Amino acid sequence: MKIIDAHMHFSDNPGFARVALAAKHENTAAHLLQTFRENNIVFGIAMGTHNPGKKPGVCYPGIVDLAGEFDPEHYNQPSCIVYCAGVNGMELDRCDMESTLEEFRRVLRTKQCVGIKLYPGYDAVYPGDRRNYPFYELAREFDVPVVFHSGDTASPRALLKYSHPLAVDEVAVAFPDVRFVIAHYGSPWIVDATEVAIKNDNVYLDLSGLAEGYFTAEEYCRKNRGYLEHLKTWMAYMDDYSRLMYGSDWPLIHIPSYIEVIRSVIPEEHREAVFYGNALRVFSRLNALL
């Protein structure tokens, strides 16, 4: 079965080296590409990290740079890695929006930029904050989805009220012609995330980041049986597996084990869609890269 990893990271951030080791991986391009080959992963959609850029007053798009210094116009990252341009919400009050949007257009004109990523919780900006609206309008203009970090956060200094999945409902209603992705299934607010997706046809859920570190699939399923049954219950309640996408949140997770965990909660008849086909519809630019 071919797999598209719809939510991962591809950054030389020093913190990722530590978490990769905890997951029995190495945070290197060579190691990841080998892992992709071993697990039949044909694309990874990386979430852009914050980029300080060079010009004062411009909030540059977050990018990917594990394989060297990033150059959007002469893409020098592996061809199987595409990315969502990250928005630095903490800087929006201090940036020149016109110049910032032009920088986003510059990367969105390239085929490797397949979406936009926002970080509610970490940036203390609600999805429905009007400062974000220009990015949703860009998503409409370029026909790319917007991904929200949702649910629990890795930092104790982040604020959970901003990352609750219910906050996505407001923008899904305001921009019905834009595709929105609730990352991490909004965990632990799985019920709420499910309802937002049921109510709004333009909302999707990715299954990344529901665990961290190294474990065997058997061990994880045994220890977290209740959690996985809860997840399966609400996926079945939604009864629309076309709204779900596999993602790993690499390098935070041991990829082979996590694939098996997610496979165990998806009915066999829907696995091809969840692990591959749905991502091609949501991140439609991938089709031109196949």
pLDDT digits (tens, 9 = 90+) for 40-67: 999 999 999 878 778 888 999 999 999 9
Number of Cβ atoms within 10 Å of the Cβ of 217: 17
Contact 248, 32 (CB under 8 A): no
**DSSP three-state, residue 89:** helix
Specify the pLDDT at position 54.
80
- pLDDT per position as a tens digit, 135-162: 999 999 999 999 999 999 999 999 999 9
- Band of the pLDDT at 237, cuts 50, 70, 90? very high
User: Whole-angstrom Cα distance, residue 147 to residue 145?
Assistant: 6
DSSP letter (8 states) at residue 63:
B
- Neighbouring C-alpha atoms within 13 Å toward the C-beta of 244: 28
**Tokens read off for 17:** 């080296």
Mean pLDDT value across residues 111-132: 97
- All domains of the chain in start order, with CATH: 3-289 (3.20.20.140)
Q: Is the pLDDT of residue 274 over 80?
A: yes
pTM for the model stands at 0.97
**Closest residue by Cα to residue 216 from 271, 264, 254:** 254
Compute the mean pLDDT over every residue in the chain, rounded to the nearest whole number.
96
- Band of the pLDDT at 177, cuts 50, 70, 90? very high
Specify the pLDDT at position 51.
80
